[in-house]
Each structure stands twice: as structure tokens, then as C-alpha cells.
């Protein structure tokens, strides 16, 4: 998807340095993946203590 955005130059330069990305496209893809990953991890935290980690998926089937 092609999109035009206006980003702060200083922030982009710093983010490229920190992430070691060589292109702005790579930088944005990395940032989006990280955002989604953090969101998914946060969503999983609500299951902490409610799921039996020893449950064997192969022997327990949903009906």
C-alpha cells in the first residue's frame, strides 16, 4: 500500500539510528510490527493465571 505521510525529520533520523534500518519503509514496517506484537502480548496478559500451561492440545478436543 502506498501512503504519503508527513513525519518529523529528527524523529525519523533517530528511529533509523536506533533500529538500524536503512530505509524509511523498513523503519515503518519494523515500527508497525512492534506495535502489533506489543498489543498482542498485552492482550495475552489477561489470560495469565487462567490457562493451564500443561494442557495437551492433542488429547483435549473442543466439542
Q: What is the DSSP track for the chain?
A: --------HHHHHHHHHHHT-SSHHHHHHHHHHHHHHHHHHHHHGGGTTTS-TT--TTT----
pLDDT score of 49: 74
Residue 22 lies in a domain: yes
pLDDT score of 26: 97
pTM exceeds 0.85: no
Instruction: State the total domains in the chain.
Output: 1
Residue 57 lies in a domain: no
Name the nearest CA neighbour of 23 among 13, 33, 34, 38: 13
Residue 27 lies in a domain: yes
pLDDT score of 58: 67
Residue 38 and residue 35: Cα distance in Å, rounded?
Answer: 5
Domain with 32 in it: 9-39
Residue 49 lies in a domain: no
| Cα 29–Cα 34–Cα 36 angle in degrees, nearest 5 | 95
pLDDT per residue rounded down to tens, the chain (63 residues)? 999 999 999 999 999 999 999 999 999 999 999 999 999 999 888 877 776 667 666 665 555
Amino acid at each position: 500500500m502506498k501512503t504519503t505521510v508527513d513525519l518529523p525529520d529528527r524523529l525519523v533520523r533517530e528511529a533509523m539510528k536506533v533500529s538500524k534500518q536503512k530505509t524509511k519503509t523498513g523503519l515503518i514496517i519494523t515500527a508497525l510490527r512492534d506495535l502489533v506484537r506489543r498489543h498482542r502480548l498485552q492482550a495475552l496478559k489477561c489470560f495469565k493465571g487462567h490457562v493451564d500451561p500443561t494442557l495437551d492440545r492433542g488429547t483435549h478436543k473442543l466439542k
